[in-house]
A and B are shown apart, each in its own frame.
Chain A
Amino acid sequence: MYVAVKGGEAAILATHDLIAEERRGDPSVPELSVAQISEQMKLATARVMNEGSLYDPGLAALALKQAQGDSIEAAFLVRAYRTTLPRFGSSLPIETSEMAIRRRISATYKDLPGGQILGPTYDYTHRLFDFALMAEKSDAVEAPVASSPLDQSMPRVPDILGDEGLMEAELSPEGDPAPFDLTRDPIQFPAERDTRLQTLARGDEGFLLGLAYSVQRGFGGNHPFAGEIRLGEVPVRFKPEELGFEIDLGDITVTECQMVNQFQGSKDKPPQFTRGYGLVFGHSERKSMSMAILDRSLKNREFGEGVDYPAQDEEFVLYHSDNVEAAGFVEHLKLPHYVDFQGELELIRKIRQEFEERHASSHTEKTGEAA
């Protein structure tokens, strides 16, 4: 057929070679290893694990390498892989109160049991370039070890407030049913909280951040306090039916954020604080905080708060937060659409022709009258 579109197959194969060449860059520069990415680009791999919905730092690093650092393309690679994995069961719920804590801060209390643990953070760095990194001569830094170990007990802030009855109680739904599985079942609305939290956990960090910001700036009704943010490792446990006892599968790194929000109370309920919850893989404070703000703003149905802003519209937030789906659909506009475009051309020409005929005839009528 037409030269313009024929030969698609050979051209497609050539694109694969071209992108591989682009990815490698200048061959005189040493190739990046997957281990280098997973060790030295931890925040990037965490993002890929979250948006790819799979905890595997090695594969996330491979995805980043293959995608030239494009986090959405990397998340897509991880998602496409994870759907092919067989499932042998569900782990027991992780217990973040047992976390081996590396960082734990609260903005609601000056001090609290277990204390404020600053841990690794960019928060108090001045954003000035460290040119030693460019020279690749930075010595390995070893942080000093504290004189005493962390407290054994690190109660979660909402639990402290809950003991006083000031915090919205959070109870399992009746009968404690197995949670909805977003990766196996289609999302349906109105969405329950399990659906919401799963969707937010894999949602695009930038999209969630923008929406959370809108809530704070005035396109939303909640004023959040960062009750607690904690980062560390938690064990994942699994109970195989044939064994009948729990086995430890290993540790994963997670960031948990508990936002504390105001609630005025209603006729039936006294005023109390309400929760927004965020939990993500790896060290991802920005994502966990955004998630917690949106979890709370989407509790609007529960608290009779109405839908006045984008961040309160669950269909808007949950349908549009998945960047793998969003990227696919926006980018599908690159596919040929010339059949439909031809339909539009035919239609617009016809309507314009009718418009001109109408215009011409009314013009003749007018000049006819004048004469």
Chain B
Amino acid sequence: MSQQTIDTDYNFGYLDEQTKRMIRRALLKAVAIPGYQVPFGSREMPLARGWGTGGIQITAALIGPHDTLKVIDQGADDTTNAVSIRRFFARVAGVKTTETTTEASIIQTRHRIPEQPLNEGQILVYQVPQPEPLRKIESSEVETRKMHAWSEYGAMHVRLYEDIARYGRVATSYSYPVMVNNRYVMSPTPIPKFDNPKMDQLPALQLFGAGREKRIYAIPPFTKVKSLDFDDYPFEIQKWKEPCALCGARDSYLDEVITDDRGGRMFVCSDSSYCETRRDEGHVGPQMNWAKDQAFINDNSEETP
């Protein structure tokens, strides 16, 4: 964990208190109607649209001096934009930041849900590029709002069916649509479908912010979240033939790392905190020693503080 001194040129958490109040009101409405997209007065942030401004505004509206923040992108704490967002909050809120999932009170994420199960009291804030799960079926916002109002989701099922007819399976590997609390079809954001089951009955609060599209939605703790499927074609998640090359995990989402230009590759946990924790506990994957020799990984002691 690390703590930084706060930049006093800005209000705590960057946003002014009126704006935070406006966002909190939208959040309360979102929690009260799970899966419903609440329009909100999304502000321009000093980070680019599409780079997490929705998640940043939610985090800014929630964060207090005693919070501990973790920011991940692609499951990892050390990807460039995660580093940039963590630096932003360290500067404008001076909060403690961490890379350890269990230590965090707020986790802002892009494209992943951590492997370590989340607990009551933790808040998972998702960055959302496109909040509307029906957008690729219907381009008009006026129409999609009506479709949600009337629970008119037939077109979505037809799309899934067409995949099965053409490919023999649902050809959606991320942003796989879910039904929340038996009412709203919701985009889980571009997390891999591997993570979808983690959303169901999660003890932690899940909040979703789309800054550019100006929408907030939420899943309260212990809410039913079901991935859309058919009785004869049940929903299934990705599987890998091999374990994580570094920590040997067989239950985590793996990234493919190209190691040379002759087809060499290894599969490693996308959740860097999970992988490191396992390695610290003594788990060794099949290519761990080779990866060290090849300098694909550093010793933890060399990491930036």
Residues on A lying within 8 angstroms of B by beta carbon are: 1-12, 76, 79-80, 82-84, 86, 183-190, 315, 319, 324-325, 327-332, 335-340, 342-347, 350-351, 354
Residues in A neighbouring B171, C-beta threshold 8 A: 347, 351
Count of B residues near A, CB < 8 Å? 68
Specify which of B74, B80, B256 is in contact with A345 (CB 8 Å cutoff).
B256
* Interface membership of B298, Cβ < 8 A: yes
Is B212's CB under 8 angstroms from A346's CB?
no
With A79-B44, A328-B51, A331-B48 as known contacts, state yes or no: A11 contacts B141, CB within 8 Å. Answer: no
Q: Are B255 and A342 in contact (CB under 8 A)?
A: yes
- Residues of B274-290 contacting chain A, CB below 8 A: 275-276
A4: B residues at CB distance < 8 A? 257
| Contact of A186 with B80 in the complex, beta carbons under 8 Å | no
Question: B275 and A1: CB pair below 8 A?
Answer: yes
Return A17 CB to nearest CB of chain B, in Å: 16
Q: Which residue of B lies closest to A316 (CB)?
A: B139
Bound-state CA distance A308–B288 (Å) is: 61
Report yes or no: A10 in contact with B76, Cβ–Cβ below 8 A: no
The smallest C-beta distance from B256 to any residue of chain A, in angstroms, reads 6
Q: Decide: A337 and B111 in contact? CB cutoff 8 A.
A: yes
Residues in A whose Cβ lies below 8 Å from that of B83: 8-9, 12
20 extra A-B contacts, CB within 8 A, seeds A3-B297, A339-B75? A2-B268, A3-B296, A7-B78, A7-B304, A8-B83, A84-B16, A186-B41, A189-B141, A319-B141, A327-B48, A328-B51, A328-B53, A329-B49, A332-B50, A335-B110, A337-B190, A339-B111, A340-B173, A342-B192, A342-B256
- Which chain A residue has the least Cβ–Cβ distance from B276? A1
Tell me if B45 counts as interface (CB < 8 A to partner A).
Answer: yes
Complex interface residues of chain B between 33 and 92 (CB less than 8 A to chain A): 39-46, 48-51, 53, 73-76, 78-84, 87
Could you pull out 21 A-B pairs where Cβ atoms are within 8 angstroms?
A9-B304, A83-B43, A83-B44, A183-B44, A186-B42, A189-B142, A315-B141, A327-B48, A328-B49, A331-B48, A331-B50, A335-B51, A335-B110, A336-B81, A338-B74, A338-B270, A339-B192, A339-B253, A340-B173, A340-B192, A346-B240
Cβ–Cβ contact A343 & B79, under 8 A: no
Query: Chain A contacts of B75 at CB under 8 A?
Result: 339
Q: Are A3 and B174 in contact (CB under 8 A)?
A: no
Query: How far does the alpha carbon of A82 sit from the alpha carbon of B45 in the complex, in Å?
Result: 10
Query: Given A2-B296, A9-B87, A329-B49: A339 and B174 within 8 A (CB)?
Result: yes
Q: How many contacts A-B (CB < 8 Å)?
A: 155
Interface string of B225-265 (1 = CB under 8 A from A): 00000000000001010000000000001111100000000
In the bound complex, residues from chain A placing their C-beta under 8 Å from that of B301 are none
The reply to whether B190 and A340 contact each other, CB–CB distance below 8 Å, is yes
Closest to A189 in B: B142
Bound Cα distance A351, B172 (Å): 12
Nearest 4 CB-CB pairings of A with B: A328-B49, A343-B173, A332-B50, A186-B214
**Chain A residue contacts of B194, Cβ below 8 A:** 343
Any chain A CB within 8 A of the CB of B293? no
CB distance from A1 to the nearest CB of B (A): 5
Most buried by B among A12, A84, A315: A84
Residue of chain A at shortest CB distance from B256: A342
Contact, CB under 8 Å: A339 / B142:
no
| Other-chain residue from A1, A10, A80 in contact with B45 (beta carbon distance below 8 A) | A80
Asked if B153 is at the interface of the complex by the 8 Å CB criterion, the answer is no
Partner of B76, one of A5, A84, A183: A5
CB distance from A338 to the nearest CB of B (A): 6
- Answer yes or no: B193 CB below 8 A from chain A CBs: yes
Cα distance, A76 to B49, chains bound together (Å): 10
Q: Select one of B42, B73, B215 contacting A335, CB under 8 A.
A: B73
Selected from A185, A329, A343, the residue in CB contact (under 8 A) with B41 is A185
A324–B212 alpha-carbon span in the complex (Å): 10
Scan residues 76-127 of chain B and give those whose CB is less than 8 A from a CB of chain A.
Answer: 76, 78-84, 87, 110-112
Q: How far is the CA of A329 from the CA of B191 in the complex (A)?
A: 18
Shortest C-beta distance, B133 to chain A (Å), equals: 16
Residues of B within 8 A of A11 (CB): 80
For the complex, what is the distance from the CA of A189 to the CA of B213, rounded to whole Å? 13
Q: Does B222 sit within 8 A of A, measured CB to CB?
A: no
Task: Report chain B residues within 8 Å CB of A327.
Answer: 48-49
Is the CB–CB distance between B296 and A329 below 8 Å?
no
The answer to whether A84 and B270 have CB atoms under 8 Å apart is no
Closest to B9 in A: A84
Is B39 within 8 A of A186, CB to CB? yes
Nearest Cβ on chain A to B188's Cβ, whole angstroms? 12
Q: Which residues on the A side are within 8 Å of B168 (C-beta)? A: 351, 354
Chain A CB within 8 A of B150 CB: no
Chain B residues in 8 Å Cβ range of A332: 48-51, 129
